[in-house]
Amino acid sequence: MFEEAIRTYLQTHRFASLHLKAVLFDMDGVLFDSMKNHAAAWHEAMKRYHLHMTPEEAYLHEGRTGADTINIISARQRKETASEEEIEAIYQTKSEIFNSLPKAERMPGAYELLQKIKKEGLTPVLVTGSGQVSLIDRLNRSFPDVFKPGRMVTAFDVKHGKPNPEPYLTGLKKAGVSANEAIVVENAPLGVRAGVAAGIFTVAVNTGPLADEVLQEEGANLLFHSMMDFNNNWENFYQLIQ
Ligand code: CA
């Protein structure tokens, strides 16, 4: 199964080989079990402004900017986009609700996988659309000594967020590697699209309520149902791309 996925990737992108040097990790829904909180906060904030978005739909839009998400829902329901003021108010409400929820735990399996990656001498890189100021503190607390400051791509480093490939292309640059020397680990459909568009072998971990097909249709090269599952399969996969 892994061999076939690798062969298909190499053919599609016309690479001779996949030789792993860096692993590009998305954050929410991959390193932290935080998507439940984001989905609940989006649903509730929209409701307060009479917009309807189920928590499940929040998973489909994961990775988009707040403004884009609000405008998509507003256009669908009211046939017009939201005003700047309303976008700001809804996003502020969403952030307040999110911050009031209990802090998300580390995703089970993520820490174990990162330890293996470090031990192999591979470079872990964080690639997130998040612009939380407390991000680095939180990462260092939960994953001590894993992500170096120069090896993080956040909302502040890019002009175009996911699904644009820019965040992952920036991740490659920060790691000093080519597309066929890295893999992307993503849980969101738009994140998978971004990884694939950057020409990188993209591993989807379906940690949310969406159907596997949603991630596969975006071009995921491999799919696991949890980070634990990926961690358990790591050795078998890694030996093929060393
Ligand atoms: Ca994510």
- What three-state secondary structure class fits 120? coil
Distance from residue 10's CA to the centre of ligand 1 (Å): 25
Per-residue pLDDT reduced to its tens digit, 154-207: 988 999 989 999 999 999 999 999 999 999 999 999 999 999 999 999 999 999
Q: Is the per-residue pLDDT at 113 higher than 90?
A: yes
| Interval 23-43 mean pLDDT | 96
Distance from residue 31's CA to the centre of ligand 1 (Å): 9
Confidence of residue 135 (pLDDT cuts 50, 70, 90): confident
Residues forming a β-bridge with 126: 25, 152
Q: Is the per-residue pLDDT at 94 higher than 80?
A: yes
Rounded Cα gap, residues 217 and 210, in angstroms: 12
**Confidence at residue 137, expressed as pLDDT on a 0 to 100 scale:** 83
**Confidence at residue 156, expressed as pLDDT on a 0 to 100 scale:** 87
Neighbours of 157 (CB within 10 A): 16
Say which residues have a Cβ less than 8 Å from residue 38's Cβ, sequence separation at least 6. Answer: 28, 58, 62, 98
Structural tokens at position 184: 């992307």
152-153, strands of its sheet edge to edge: 152-153, 123-127, 22-25, 182-186, 201-205, 222-224
Residues whose CB is under 5 A from ligand 1 (ion)?
26, 28-29, 187-188
Q: Is the per-residue pLDDT at 131 higher than 80?
A: no
Distance from residue 69's CA to the centre of ligand 1 (Å): 15
Distance from residue 126's CA to the centre of ligand 1 (Å): 11
* pTM summary value: 0.93
Distance from residue 27's CA to the centre of ligand 1 (Å): 6
Distance from residue 62's CA to the centre of ligand 1 (Å): 6
Helix/strand number for the chain, H first, E second: 11, 6
% of the chain surpassing 70 pLDDT: 100
